[in-house]
């Protein structure tokens, strides 16, 4: 087991800057497998840049997880990794999985580490914001008039459903059979729906609850429970949608959606589809919330074929770091600065391979990170100068 404690780079002139935090916030980094380490490196640099500019520091601890956990410790979620996560202020994860571990039994694969971590931390809400960036309008597979106002928050239930129901297999009379049980309790549905309503109240007050209530009993409970909860949120317009229809509506008319709330598996599937509408799955961050520290991760996988080639898109990871700053650390100004810096890099035409455009300049993951961090530094400096000029 390798645990590495890295301090944030000291600020250029720490004494001259205002200290914002009493003791450094503990951030656990779980780079994981495939392109995970490459994109997490860039995202960790984003946090370091904010710390350096703000005159504070983060206490980073990098831990083995997923396939890397199996290699280091024989299991995808080593005890020490879980202990560090439980003790963290926030967790930044890369991605897990790869061909090297595909022959292992389901419960011992890297993905089992991710599910185990979500379960152990009680992470029952997963928020996946999907928004079209003006600079990337050209790469949406949709016609411009359909794509232009995509701004959706997918609230995915993360600790229940078919992912965590009974799994089994048997062979009877030479015939193989396997099953995975979708199960939900009303309180499990209520707590995630409650969050979706609250998000919608802060946005344009529309919730689409996605299920398959025409076929599945668990979906019928989902629909009844969400409907009951809606009475407590009279300002929110609730709509129910079957998942097959939702998949179609996302493609035909994505701007009809504000907040989508759905089960673990439907959320997994719909969020990949929605990501493609705004250009690439590499662009989308996520936040997982529960009873303890929150976890931030891009929604993409470990992309083993891209690993080690410096071609991965770090944007999902960068934006996950921005969500971490905003939601776990209350650093909204810094989070907004990351967003501004990202737009500037994209406006200047820099692109990783997945979001390449003929007119753009193709660069690698690390270079994208350097450019982003340089823009972020400049943005934070500008903001700080404007704050001083304004007497703040």
Q: Does 130 bind ligand IPM (CB under 6 A)?
A: no
Q: Give catalytic status of residue 339 as yes or no.
A: no
Among 45, 73, 89, 111, binds ligand IPM (CB under 6 A): 111
Q: Which of residues 326-365 bind Mg ion (CB under 5 A)?
A: none
Nearer to ligand IPM, 54 or 97 (CB): 97
Q: Are 28 and 92 in contact (CB under 8 A)?
A: yes
276 binds, among ligand IPM, Mg ion, none (CB under 5 to 8 A by kind): none
* SS3 call for 210: strand
CA atoms within 13 A on the CB side of 100: 18
Nearer to ligand IPM, 57 or 286 (CB): 286
The contact pattern for Mg ion, residues 249-288, with x = CB under 5 A and - = no contact, is -------------------x--------------------
161 binds, among ligand IPM, Mg ion, none (CB under 5 to 8 A by kind): none
Single out the catalytic residue among 33, 211, 212, 339. Answer: 212
3-state secondary structure 4-25: EEEECCCCCCHHHCCCCCCCCE
Q: Which of residues 172-231 bind ligand IPM (CB under 6 A)?
A: none
Q: Are 123 and 288 in contact (CB under 8 A)?
A: yes
CA distances from 103 to 98, 106, 168, 169 (A): 10, 9, 17, 17
Single out the catalytic residue among 59, 272, 310, 343. Answer: 272
111 binds, among ligand IPM, Mg ion, none (CB under 5 to 8 A by kind): ligand IPM
CB atoms inside a 10 Å sphere around CB 353? 17
Spell out the alpha helix ranges (H) of 231-355.
243-252, 264-277, 315-323, 332-347
CB of 276 to ligand IPM, least distance (A): 14
Q: Is 255 exposed, middle or buried (0-12, 13-18, 19+ CB in 10 A)?
A: middle
Q: Give catalytic status of residue 163 as yes or no.
A: yes
Torsion of CA 17, 20, 22, 28, to 10 degrees: -110
Longest dimension (CA), the chain: 80
114 binds, among Mg ion, ligand IPM, none (CB under 5 to 8 A by kind): ligand IPM
Sign of the torsion formed by the C-alpha atoms of 314, 264, 164 and 293: positive
Helix (H) or strand (E) holding 198: helix 186-201
d(CA 387, CA 376) in angstroms, rounded, equals: 16
Listed in sequence order, the residues at least 6 apart from 152 whose beta carbon sits closer than 8 Å to its beta carbon are 129, 130, 131, 254, 257, 258, 259, 260, 274
90 binds, among ligand IPM, Mg ion, none (CB under 5 to 8 A by kind): none
* Opening angle at CA 133, ends 46 and 151, nearest 5: 105
Q: Are 149 and 138 in contact (CB under 8 A)?
A: no
Q: Does 62 bind Mg ion (CB under 5 A)?
A: no
The contact pattern for ligand IPM, residues 229-268, with x = CB under 6 A and - = no contact, is ---------------------------------------x
Instruction: Count the site residues for Mg ion by CB under 5 A.
Output: 1
Q: Does 136 bind ligand IPM (CB under 6 A)?
A: no
Q: Does 303 bind ligand IPM (CB under 6 A)?
A: no
Q: Which of residues 72-101 bind ligand IPM (CB under 6 A)?
A: 97
Among 42, 114, 154, 372, binds ligand IPM (CB under 6 A): 114
CB of 119 to ligand IPM, least distance (A): 12
CB of 17 to ligand IPM, least distance (A): 37
Residues making contact with ligand IPM (CB under 6 A): 97, 111, 114, 268, 299, 301
Residues making contact with Mg ion (CB under 5 A): 268
Catalytic annotation, residues: 163, 212, 244, 268, 272
């Amino acid at each position: 087991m390798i645990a590495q404690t890295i301090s944030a780079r000291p600020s250029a002139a720490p004494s001259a800057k205002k200290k914002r935090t009493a003791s450094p916030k503990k951030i656990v980094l779980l780079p994981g497998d495939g392109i995970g380490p490459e994109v997490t490196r860039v995202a960790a640099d984003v946090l370091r840049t904010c710390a350096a500019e703000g005159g504070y520091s983060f206490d980073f601890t990098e831990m083995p997880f997923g396939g890397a956990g199996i290699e280091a410790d024989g299991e995808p979620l080593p005890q020490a990794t879980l202990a560090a996560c439980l003790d963290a202020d926030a967790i930044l994860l890369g991605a897990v999985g790869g061909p090297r571990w595909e022959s292992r039994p389901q419960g011992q694969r890297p993905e089992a580490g991710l599910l185990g971590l979500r379960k152990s931390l009680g992470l029952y809400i997963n928020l996946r914001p999907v928004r079209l960036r003006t600079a990337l309008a050209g790469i949406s597979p949709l016609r411009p008039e359909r794509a232009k106002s995509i701004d959706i928050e997918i609230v995915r239930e993360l600790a229940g459903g078919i992912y965590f129901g009974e799994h089994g297999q048997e062979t009877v009379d030479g015939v193989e059979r396997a099953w995975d049980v979708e199960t939900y309790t009303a309180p499990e549905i209520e707590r995630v729906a409650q969050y979706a309503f609250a998000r919608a109240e802060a946005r344009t007050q529309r919730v689409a609850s996605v299920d398959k209530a025409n076929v599945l009993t668990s979906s019928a409970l989902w629909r009844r429970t969400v409907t009951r909860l809606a009475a407590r949120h009279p300002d929110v317009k609730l709509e129910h949608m079957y998942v097959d229809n939702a998949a179609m509506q996302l493609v035909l008319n994505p701007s009809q959606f504000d907040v989508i709330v759905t089960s673990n598996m439907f959320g997994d599937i719909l969020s990949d589809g929605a990501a493609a509408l705004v250009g690439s799955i590499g662009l989308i961050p996520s936040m997982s919330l529960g009873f303890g520290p929150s976890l931030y991760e891009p929604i993409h996988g470990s992309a083993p074929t891209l690993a080690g080639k410096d071609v991965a898109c770090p944007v999902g990871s960068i934006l996950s770091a921005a969500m971490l700053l905003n939601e776990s650390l209350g650093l909204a100004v810094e989070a907004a600065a990351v967003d501004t810096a990202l737009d500037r890099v994209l406006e200047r035409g820099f692109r990783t391979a997945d979001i390449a455009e003929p007119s753009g300049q193709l660069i690698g993951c690390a270079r994208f990170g350097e450019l982003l961090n340089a823009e972020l530094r400049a943005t934070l400096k500008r903001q700080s100068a404007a704050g001083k000029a304004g007497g703040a």
